[in-house]
Amino acid sequence: MTDVTFRVFRGAGTQGGFEEYTVQLSEGMVVLDAVLDIQASQAGDLAVRWNCKAGKCGSCSAEVNGKPRLMCMTRMNTLPLDQPVTIEPMRSFPLIKDLVTDVKRNFEINKRVRPFKPKPRQADGTHRMMQYDIDRIQEFHKCIECFLCQDVCHVMRDHQKPDFIGPRFLIRLAALVMHPLDTENRLTELKDAFGIGYCNITKCCTEVCPENIKITDNAIIPLKERVAGNFYDPLAWLWRKARGKRPDTRPGTE
C-alpha cells in the first residue's frame, strides 16, 4: 500500500506551524482515519474534534488542502496524493489547539433566535401539515451544524460584522419563518438585528455544505424577498398606507 504525507497544523492559541506525518493508505480511507492513525501511533496529543465519523454530527470540520470539509467524509481517493495533504483548522474561528477551534460564537448566536411558537392544535389534538409544505423546511433541518458555512462566509471571515448571524442561522430562521405552525413574525430582526442585508449571495456557503442544502437559493434569497416585500415594496407600502396599516414591525426579544 502507498504511503501518503500529511502536513498537519500543530499549535495552540496564536502559535503554531505545520508538521509532517506519513501514513499508510488503506482501502476506503478518509482524511479523519489518517488523523486518528497519526494520533494513535505518532502524536498521542494531536487535538481533533470528532464524533460520529459518518457525516452526521458535523464535528470534524477542518480545511483540507485549503477547502472547508468534513474530514470523515473526505475520501483519500478524491485528493491528489503525489503531493502532501494539508490539514488545517477552520480559519474563521479562534484556534484552541491543533485542529480544534473555538466555535462557541455560534452557540451564542443561536440563543438570539426566538423560540418556535406554534399555533394551537386542532380539535382532534393533532397538528395537520402537508408533506409538500414541509419538504423545504426538512431540507433546512438536515443541517448538522458543522459550521463550515460560517467558516467560508466572507462576511464572517473578512468583514467584522458582529450583527450578521451567518448562513447557518439564516437557514434556521428560514426553517422557522416557513414553518406552517410558527406564529412569530421574524422579519424585523432579520433585517435589523441579524443583518441579512450583508449577504450578497456569492453562494460560497452552499458550495461547502456537506448536507447539500441549497442555503442561498432555498433559504437566504426567499428570506431576502420576504424582508424586501415587507419593508421596501412601494406597492405594499401604498396599500398599507391606504388601509392605515404599518409595516409589520412587531419587536422580537432583541
Partner 1 sequence: MNHETIEHDVIIIGAGGAGLRAAIEASGKGASVGVVCKSLLGKAHTAMAEGGMAAALTTADPRDNWEMHFRDTIRGGKMLNNWRMVKIFTQEAPDRVNELEEWGALFDRTDDGRILQRNFGGHQYARLAHVGDRTGLEMLRTLQNHGIHQGIEVYMECTVVDLLMDGGKAAGAFAYWRDSGTFVQFRAKAVVLATGGLGKCYTITSNSWECTGDGQALAYRAGAELIDMEFVQFHPTGMVWPPSVRGLLVTEGVRGEGGVLRDKDGKRFMFDYIPEMFAGEYAETEEEAKRWRPGVPEGPDARRPPDLLTRDVVARAIRAEVRAGRGSPHGGAYLDIASQASEAQIKKKLPGMYHQFMQLASLDITKEYMEVGPTSHYVMGGVRVDPETCSTSVPGLFAAGEVAGGLHGANRLGGNSLTDLMVFGRRAGAGAAEYAGALSAMPGVNPDQVRDIERLALAPFEESGTENPYEVMQDLQKMMEHDSGIVRAKEELADGLGKLRTLKERSVKVRVEGNRQYNPGWHYALDLHNLIMVSEAITLSALHRDESRGGHTREDFPESSPELEKVNTVVRNRDGEMAWEHVTREPLPGDLQELLSHPHLEEPN
DSSP 126-137: -----HHHHHHH
Note whether 116 binds partner 1 by CB under 8 A: yes
Note whether 1 binds partner 1 by CB under 8 A: no
Pick from 72, 69, 82: which is nearest to 34 by CA? 72
Q: Which stretch binds partner 1 (CB under 8 A): 1-9, 41-49, 213-221, 229-237?
A: 41-49
Q: Which stretch binds partner 1 (CB under 8 A): 114-122, 196-204, 230-238, 244-252?
A: 114-122
Note whether 3 binds partner 1 by CB under 8 A: no
Reduced to 3 states (helix: H, G, I; strand: E, B; else coil), residue 7 is strand
Distance CA 143, CA 211 (A): 7
Q: Which stretch binds partner 1 (CB under 8 A): 44-52, 214-222, 228-236, 239-247?
A: 44-52
Pick from 186, 159, 160: which is nearest to 172 by CA? 186
Contacting partner 1 within 180-239 (CB under 8 A): 181-182
CA 63, 67, 69: angle at the middle one, nearest 5?
65
For partner 1, the binding residue among 16, 73, 197, 221 (CB under 8 A) is: 73
Note whether 243 binds partner 1 by CB under 8 A: no
Q: Which is nearer to partner 1, 46 or 223 (CB)?
A: 46
Count of C-beta atoms within a 10 Å radius of residue 207 = 14
Q: Which stretch binds partner 1 (CB under 8 A): 84-92, 108-116, 156-164, 220-228?
A: 108-116
Distance CA 136, CA 142 (A): 10
Q: How far is the CB of 28 from partner 1 (least distance, A)?
A: 2
Q: How far is the CB of 132 from partner 1 (least distance, A)?
A: 9
Contacts of residue 82, defined as CB under 8 A and 6 or more positions apart, other chains included, come to none
Q: Which stretch binds partner 1 (CB under 8 A): 138-146, 150-158, 186-194, 197-205?
A: 138-146
Distance CA 232, CA 75 (A): 47
Note whether 96 binds partner 1 by CB under 8 A: yes
- How buried is residue 252: exposed, middle or buried, by Cβ count under 10 Å (0-12/13-18/19+)? middle
What number of chain residues touch partner 1 (CB under 8 A)?
Answer: 63
Note whether 50 binds partner 1 by CB under 8 A: yes
Q: How far is the CB of 89 from partner 1 (least distance, A)?
A: 11
Give the number of residues written for the chain: 254
What cell was used for 179?
414553518
Q: Read off φ and ψ for residue 117, nearest 5 degrees.
A: -130, 100
Distance CA 152, CA 146 (A): 12
Query: By the criterion CB under 8 A, which residues form the site for partner 1?
Result: 12, 26-30, 33, 39-41, 43-59, 73, 75, 96-98, 100, 102-104, 107, 110-111, 113, 115-116, 118, 125-131, 134, 137-138, 141-145, 172, 176, 179, 181-182
